[in-house]
């Protein structure tokens, strides 16, 4: 008997691999893995490329920074480890040319700077792209920022005075990746050699100077150096000195790419969900087809353990084939993604690592454990009587246990894909709630269909009554069909919502007419004239805001210190000065979410931004004290505002009434959108700097262009991933219809035996499909609207108008695809006699 079982299992399992159900199962698995692995390949390469190229933003692998000369032992230790070193010294100072003066950010550099990345220079203003310069300024020479030339009316070859020395202007700096984003670095850059800094005699007692030691080399040596440096600082209690990495580089672009990665992850998850439904349906049909073989095995003496072992081997083989096949297809997909996304952040991406391949196989195994193994377990409990009586019920595990196992494994998978607990929780939670709702509605629909067939005119025709009652007879399968199709259509509709509405909402949060220039350091007496010049230059709206520098010293009479907070951002905020403002009117794009706006009150009140209120744990009624030029100003928080930071307009953390602040020392700031001028005139910002040499221009156009480029390319990438989702949706449709194929064939055979015509059978068949399609599509549309709104509000944090038309589109789409998908089965039923159909059952 054991010999017969061993012989049979060698024949049965290979034969099962050639079945249609196996092809469906394997196809759904490959598509699911491919959709997620394509994003995984891309994320892996971009992450490693970012870690590599982000080091250019600090010109080194690690930086030791101090507010005093760095002890020599740091450089000696780095060099003893075989690491490269260079030094920079940065501080603000005044520069002059003839009778003109200008505040600049002076940087003195040593040979070898920069250790990572490059500096680009040019010799004329018409070439602002520049070329890579691998040296540092020549002796007696200086490199200057292009913004300094019109304000001082200086050109290449002129001599710029810095302290007690003069330097010949040798080149224009067009790219300096490690410039940083501090307030000081908004001033034009001036770069000289470090060994010539002493000639200027600019550094003295009380000078605010930043010293940096740049270090680069082997990763392990860098890690050891950082550990030694941190320990040295701690042991000797060195104050004002620290080691820095690249974690805080380019926050705007980093935030944009993080959001883009969330969009891609969401699309991959939606595809995975559709494919998971297909896997679950295909697994059910696969195990149903294997039930007869399992019963025969038990007749030949196979134990439950032997059945589980053989099917376990088969499922493991499916997992490996699906994982490797999906990984290969995902690799091809990620190459196409790279074509669409281009060089959003970096070029020359590093080659793919082995981890996405390993991850793909893990995903394949997880999907099988969650959706295939529960029905396979039921095969081990099948009765040998199945050989004689096919209607013997397979004793499946608990439905709740099966659902729980599927949810747990799939949630773990979503976390792997999203790398964001909130995104994964909202997506899975929305689909879980939708599944329960869909099953409930499907059950109500079945009961309604049974009632209509018996008590209304819909049951007047015998064949039509048979169609309505067939829904009730297959209540469980009908419910699963509706829920499965609704989940698949919901994912497709939600993907369409992501493609259109969410992306459009993101675009509108950073509109194409957003300001791309900031003007700061405007003096009060220049305000009116400068505003007029902006309007005369074609700027549509020129609103100037007062800006006052103040340090937060007390909250509710308690001294504010960085060590009072655990959060790193909170520590940095309280350790620097705030940009304060005053206004009687609520600024544009500001929304009061708590309390009431102070208006033109004479009371000591202030309005605080919601983000900083959360970070510093502030609330309505708190008393704050700011030190402004040595004068303490106390005010009570009476309102909390929500700001639209994506609008790129002038925003302030704290705004007070004019009566409290208008007499304080202040400058003014404005933001406007600059467009290219067609009349060969100087650009607006260059012309303004020439007229008002004291103002500083902050150009953010390149950052905005990068963000817009991300949006455009992300849209194309989502369309590419949509191909995977469509393929998964087709599999769901086939699997859902195939789940009731045997029952439909049996119904058709019975109707034919009773003399029903082909037209009557077709009418009965498509009536059932139209009902299932309508209910599935309508439920999917409602679910897509709800989940899309939740994601917009709680994950992407963007405004999102509800697209109600999606509900109608879903109902129509559901009916159409059900009818199209049923054509192949209807043709098979119509062209087969009742005897042949019954033989297949």
Residues 6 or more apart whose Cβ sits within 8 Å of residue 241:
64, 65, 66, 67, 68, 70, 233
Please report the pLDDT score of residue 3 as a whole number: 42
Please report the pLDDT score of residue 426 as a whole number: 73
Q: Which two structure tokens, joined as six digits, stand for 326?
A: 């999906």
Q: Phi first, then psi: give them for residue 22, nearest 5 degrees.
A: -65, -40
Rounded-to-integer distance, Cα 506 and Cα 511, Å: 9
| Phi-psi domain of 108 (left: phi exceeds 0; alpha: psi -120 through 50; beta: other) | beta
Rounded-to-integer distance, Cα 538 and Cα 674, Å: 9
Alpha helices in 18-162 (DSSP H): 20-53, 72-80, 148-152
Please report the pLDDT score of residue 107 as a whole number: 93
Please report the pLDDT score of residue 110 as a whole number: 93
Q: Phi first, then psi: give them for residue 330, nearest 5 degrees.
A: -65, -35
Enclosing H/E stretch for 742:
helix 741-753
Rounded-to-integer distance, Cα 783 and Cα 789, Å: 10
Three-state DSSP at 405 gives helix
Alpha helices in 342-459 (DSSP H): 355-371, 373-379, 399-418, 421-455
Q: Which two structure tokens, joined as six digits, stand for 673?
A: 């959108």
pLDDT along the chain (841 residues), means of 10: 45 54 74 71 63 69 86 91 92 84 87 88 78 90 87 88 91 79 65 92 75 89 88 79 63 56 66 69 72 73 75 78 82 73 53 72 74 71 60 48 63 68 73 77 74 64 64 66 76 69 58 74 88 85 87 90 76 79 88 90 91 88 90 92 72 89 89 72 75 74 59 61 63 63 67 69 74 83 80 66 77 80 67 58 50
List, as own/partner pairs, every contact residues 244-251 make where C-beta atoms lie below 8 angstroms and the sequence separation is at least 24, other chains included.
Answer: 244/58, 244/62, 244/63, 244/64, 244/65, 245/58, 245/62, 245/63, 246/51, 246/54, 246/55, 246/57, 246/58, 249/54, 249/57, 249/58, 250/54, 250/57, 251/181
Sign, CA torsion 749/753/758/762? negative
Residues 6 or more apart whose Cβ sits within 8 Å of residue 708:
510, 512
Please report the pLDDT score of residue 571 as a whole number: 76
Rounded-to-integer distance, Cα 540 and Cα 534, Å: 8
Please report the pLDDT score of residue 7 as a whole number: 46
State the number of CA atoms in the 13 A half-sphere of 87 facing the CB: 18
Dihedral, 124, 127, 133, 135 alpha carbons, nearest 10: 10
Rounded-to-integer distance, Cα 375 and Cα 113, Å: 64
């Amino acid at each position: 008997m054991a010999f017969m079982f061993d012989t049979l299992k060698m024949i049965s399992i290979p034969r099962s691999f050639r079945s249609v159900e196996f092809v469906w199962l394997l196809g759904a698995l490959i598509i699911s893995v491919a959709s997620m692995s394509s994003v995984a390949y891309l994320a892996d390469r971009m992450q490693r490329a970012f870690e590599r190229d982000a080091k250019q933003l600090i010109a080194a692998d690690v930086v030791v920074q101090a507010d005093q000369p760095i002890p020599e032992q740091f450089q000696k230790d780095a060099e003893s480890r075989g690491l490269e070193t260079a030094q920079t010294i940065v501080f603000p100072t005044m520069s002059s040319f003839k009778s003109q003066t200008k505040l600049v950010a002076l940087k003195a550099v040593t040979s070898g700077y920069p250790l990572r990345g490059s500096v680009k220079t040019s010799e004329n203003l018409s070439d602002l792209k520049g070329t890579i310069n691998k040296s540092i300024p020549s002796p007696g020479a200086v490199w200057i920022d292009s913004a300094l030339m019109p304000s001082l009316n200086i050109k290449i070859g002129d001599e710029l005075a810095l302290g007690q020395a003069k330097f010949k202007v040798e080149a224009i700096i067009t790219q300096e990746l490690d410039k940083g984003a501090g307030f000081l670095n908004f001033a034009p850059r001036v770069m000289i050699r470090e060994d010539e800094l002493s000639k200027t005699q600019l550094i003295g007692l009380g000078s605010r100077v930043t010293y940096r030691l740049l270090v680069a080399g082997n990763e392990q040596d860098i890690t050891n150096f950082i550990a030694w440096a941190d320990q040295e600082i701690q042991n000797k209690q060195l104050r004002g000195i620290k080691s820095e990495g690249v974690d805080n580089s380019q926050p705007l672009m980093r935030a944009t790419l993080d959001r883009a990665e969330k969009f891609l992850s969401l699309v991959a998850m939606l595809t995975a969900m559709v494919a998971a439904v297909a896997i679950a349906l295909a697994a059910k049909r696969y195990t149903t087809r294997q039930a007869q073989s399992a019963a025969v095995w038990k007749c030949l003496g196979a134990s439950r353990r032997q059945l589980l072992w053989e099917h376990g081997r088969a499922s493991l083989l499916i997992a490996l084939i699906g994982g490797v096949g999906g990984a290969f297809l995902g690799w091809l997909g990620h190459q196409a993604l790279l074509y669409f996304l281009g060089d959003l952040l970096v070029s020359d991406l590093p080659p793919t690592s082995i981890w996405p391949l390993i991850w793909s196989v893990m995903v394949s195994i997880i999907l099988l454990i969650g959706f295939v193994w529960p029905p396979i377990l039921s095969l081990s409990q099948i009765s040998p009587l199945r050989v004689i009586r096919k209607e013997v019920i397979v004793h499946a595990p608990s439905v709740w246990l099966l659902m729980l196992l599927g949810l747990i494994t799939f949630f773990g998978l979503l976390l792997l894909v999203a790398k964001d607990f909130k995104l994964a929780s909202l997506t899975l939670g929305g689909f879980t709630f939708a599944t329960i709702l869909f099953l409930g509605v499907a059950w109500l629909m079945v009961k309604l269909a049974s009632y209509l067939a018996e008590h209304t005119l819909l049951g007047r025709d015998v064949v039509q009554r048979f169609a309505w009652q067939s829904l009730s007879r297959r209540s469980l399968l009908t419910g699963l069909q509706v829920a499965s199709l609704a989940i698949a259509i919901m994912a497709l509709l939600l993907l369409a919502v992501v493609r259109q509405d969410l992306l459009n909402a993101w675009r509108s949060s950073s509109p194409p007419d957003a300001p791309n220039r900031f003007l700061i350091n405007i003096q009060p007496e220049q305000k009116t004239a400068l505003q007029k010049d902006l309007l005369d230059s074609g700027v549509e709206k020129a609103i100037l805001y007062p800006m006052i520098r103040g340090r937060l010293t007390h909250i509710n009479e308690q001294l504010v210190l960085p060590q009072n907070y655990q959060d790193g951002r909170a520590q940095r905020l309280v350790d620097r000065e705030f940009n304060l403002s005053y206004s009687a009117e609520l600024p544009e794009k500001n929304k009061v979410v708590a309390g009431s706006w102070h208006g033109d009150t004479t009371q000591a009140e202030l309005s605080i931004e919601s983000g900083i209120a959360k970070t510093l744990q502030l609330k309505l009624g708190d008393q704050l004290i700011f030190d402004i030029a040595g004068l303490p100003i106390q005010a009570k928080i009476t309102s909390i505002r929500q700001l639209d930071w994506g609008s790129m307009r002038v925003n302030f953390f704290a705004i007070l009434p004019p009566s409290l602040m208008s007499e304080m020392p202040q400058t003014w700031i404005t933001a406007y959108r600059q467009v290219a001028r067609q009349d060969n005139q100087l650009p607006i910002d260059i012309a303004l700097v020439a007229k008002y040499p004291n103002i500083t221009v902050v150009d953010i156009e390149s950052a905005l262009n990068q963000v817009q480029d991300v949006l455009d390319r992300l849209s194309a990438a989502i369309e590419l991933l949509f191909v995977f989702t469509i393929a998964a949706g087709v599999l769901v449709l086939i699997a859902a219809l195939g789940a009731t194929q045997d029952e439909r064939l049996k119904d058709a055979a019975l109707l034919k035996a009773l003399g029903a015509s082909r037209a009557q059978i077709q009418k009965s068949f498509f009536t059932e499909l139209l009902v299932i399609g309508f209910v599935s599509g309508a439920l999917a549309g409602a679910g897509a609207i709800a989940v899309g709104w939740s994601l917009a509000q709680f994950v992407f944090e963007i405004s999102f108008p509800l697209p109600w038309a999606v509900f109608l589109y879903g109902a129509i789409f559901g009916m159409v695809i059900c009818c199209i998908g049923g054509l192949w089965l209807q043709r098979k039923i119509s062209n087969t006699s009742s005897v042949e159909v019954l033989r297949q059952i």
